[in-house]
Amino acid sequence: MHTAVVYMHPAGPLVALVGNPNCGKTALFNRLTGSRQKVANYAGVTVERKEGRFALPSGKMLRLLDLPGTYSLHPRSPDERVTADVLAGRAKGEKRPDLAIVVVDATNLRRTLRLALAVKRTGLPMVVALNMLDLAKQRGLTIDAARLADALGVPVVETVAVEGGGADTLVRQLDDATLWQRPAAPASADAEVEADHAVVARLLAELGLDRAAPHLPSDRIDRIVLNPLLGLPLLAVVLFFVFQAVFSWAEAPMGWIEAATGWAAEGVGRLLADGWFKSLVVDGVIAGAGGVVVFLPQIVILFFFILVLEESGYLPRAAFLLDRLMGGVGLSGRSFIPLLSSFACAIPGIMAARTISNPRDRLVTIMIAPLMTCSARLPVYALLIGAFIPRREVGGFELQGLVLFALYVAGISGAMFIAWLAKHLTGHAFKAPLMMELPAYHLPRVRNVAIGLWQRIKIFLRRVGGIILALTVLLWFLSSYPAPPVGATGPAIEYSLAGTIGRALEAVFAPIGFNWQISVSLIPGLAAREVMVGALGTVYALSATGEETGALTALIAGQWSLATALSLLAWFVFAPQCLATLATVKRETGGWTMPLIMAGYLFALAYLASFITYHLALAAGWG
């Protein structure tokens, strides 16, 4: 084997990783590069750019660029345009790759080989990674990689990206100098694009893969899951079970964390002398950060189910089930994945809207994504539900889980209403039929679920140790200074800067039942939703004296009315977004107009919902 020529670029040759969505391309990227990755944006656009590095057997380093998934080099969305421009050398500020690795799905060569032929026409040296061979064998497909390589005129390497199979062979292939020195194929006329279908059909016939695909267990499952009558009720049952589990399964570990937080506060309080430093540590750090960490079990349980449903192949089916429903409000099933991503965080959901080709649908999806109940709201919901909703069963179901489910439904309903309103205000756009590939069902891989959970735990704890801790400490300072005047009888916080700000805001929020402590805690919540819980913990820790001290849940249960709690729940269903989300919308839409409109309509919606909820609760005698 020859040694690869790797001096083409000062930082090493650039290899582009190309493939259809869901072909295992990113799994192969992660397998090759490991932790040697950096994420940015392409110049002039907001499409994410992922680049990594890996070493060849000769010791030389290559740069690997994970291009956005695409079905062709004739783009219909911002993501697809980036891929086409990079391969053609038209991308602003981006060097044209020296070589392309085209990842093809062995279970669907009829579709994925068309992209391989299109990349070959660009004239780039290339190698084909024949991925998902394990699934192909399960379906009874036998693919002769050598014959496929002869037919395509490029090297073909067998891989199973999720398990690392074939990665070493692929790396050794890239160390072959003849691959890099292969003369570029002449560019073909666009007319040949239409001939790709015939070329692929001929290749499959030569390989003996042109027979009809066998009926799979997934097909039999889909007769039930995608049934027009059974599909939506089944989806509702699945989601309902998830929300029930979030409360019932998390009760014990939440109790352990809450007890540990109390022991830590008590132990540290005994060790430190009275003074500002003790107050900072006990009332600021432990009360603030500990009040948020206690909800980690619920977040872990929620993401566990999301990852299991994603790994099993069920989530893409939900897009088809909801396509007709979303069509009634002027959207399509294409909006489902961005909206689903927003249940974790609105930011990746908004960024995922780039895959929607229709500009109007993309903008509406961005504007309603924040109404999906993101994980940052969960600590607030859990705090209020745990404090005010009794633990009892209604019709065989946990009442607390029913309330949480209703809050998620309220957010979704609000989003659909805004989309419907936009449809009638802007005119009904043409609704393209939804076409999406449904992966085969399979048992979730424990390793993938565990890695996904660990990543989300790290993100959550990093936020607790970063922005949440910083803001709770800042709020402690505002709540502790200036010192109360001589002869003051109330808690010191009432005379502090935070108390002054809270009293001013109380005039605005009193009509919806918020006291000054709630009002001042809303401010740090603009940076991150879950900071609201830490802020309340700090404010009430500094407000409480003597017998009033205790867990935050018990404190607010004794001091707030049920009407106030329900009003605050309604507020957070529609509350204005965190600043990071508004900044993302600004980048995605190219200006501040849409973020300002978003902040304005969300504030108005939240205030209206809280006002109605509060006064209905008062009328019901829950004041």
Over residues 93-113, the pLDDT tens digits come to 788 999 999 999 888 888 888
Give the model's pLDDT for residue 101: 94
Judged by DSSP in three states, 514 sits in: coil
The amino acid present at 352, given as its one-letter code, is A
Q: How far is CA 253 from the centre of its chain?
A: 25
Give the pLDDT of residue 195: 66
In this structure, are residues 65 and 51 in contact, taking their beta carbons and an 8 Å threshold? yes
Contact 316, 264 (CB under 8 A): no
| Among 206, 235, 265, residue at a domain's last position | 206
Residue at 587 is within a domain: no
Would you place residue 356 in the very low, low, confident or very high pLDDT band (cuts 50, 70, 90)? confident
The enclosing domain of 85 has a CATH number of 3.40.50.300
Which helix (H) or strand (E) covers residue 130, if one does?
strand 126-131
State the pairing for strand pair 37-41/61-66: unpaired
End-to-end CA distance of the chain: 81
Which of 146, 172, 206 is the endpoint of a domain? 206
Answer whether residue 39 shows pLDDT above 50. no
Q: From residue 491, how far is each of 262, 280, 476, 479, 530 by CA, in Å?
A: 22, 16, 14, 10, 25
Strand partners, 126: 100
Structural domain includes residue 618:
no
**Cβ pair 556, 562 in contact under 8 A:** no
pLDDT by residue (tens digit) across 427-440?
Answer: 655 566 666 667 77
Q: Is residue 109 within 8 Å of residue 145, measured between CB atoms?
A: no
Could you report the per-residue pLDDT of 278-305, keeping only the tens digit for each? 888 887 788 777 767 877 887 788 788 8
Q: How many domains does the chain have?
A: 2
Q: Could you tell me if residue 69 is inside a domain?
A: yes
Domain that holds residue 528: 249-294+444-560
* 85 plus 164 within the same structural domain: yes
- Domain presence at residue 303: no
Q: Which of 181, 206, 231 is the last residue of a domain?
A: 206
Q: Are residues 47 and 161 in the same domain?
A: yes
Q: What's the pLDDT tens digit per position in 228-267?
A: 889 989 988 888 888 778 778 887 888 898 888 889 888 8
Q: Do residues 510 and 563 make contact, with C-beta atoms less than 8 angstroms apart?
A: no
Do residues 139 and 279 share a domain?
Answer: no
281 and 194 inside one domain = no
Is residue 546 situated within a structural domain? yes
Residue range 471-477: mean pLDDT, rounded: 77
Same domain for 254 and 143 = no
**Residues 163, 38 within the same domain:** yes
CA 154 vs CA 124, 129, 178, 182, 318: distances in Å: 11, 11, 11, 9, 38
Residue 42 pLDDT? 43
Residues 116 and 201 in one domain: yes
Considering the domain boundaries, does residue 605 fall inside one? no
The answer on 268 and 146 residing in a single domain is no
Measure Cα distances from 420 to 198, 415, 604 in Å.
43, 9, 18
pLDDT at 391: 86
Name the phi and psi angles at 63, rounded to 5: -100, 135
pLDDT (0 to 100) of residue 561? 94
Residues 198 and 271 in one domain: no
Indicate if 24 and 97 belong to the same structural domain. yes
pLDDT band, residue 175 (cuts 50/70/90): confident
- Domain assignment present for residue 433? The answer is no
Q: Which of 129-143, 456-470, 507-521, 577-591 has the highest mean pLDDT?
A: 507-521
Q: Clarify whether residues 124 and 272 are in a common domain.
A: no
Would 344 be classed as within a structural domain? Answer: no
5 — pLDDT class (breaks 50, 70, 90):
very low
Contact 118, 144 (CB under 8 A): no
The answer on 258 and 198 residing in a single domain is: no
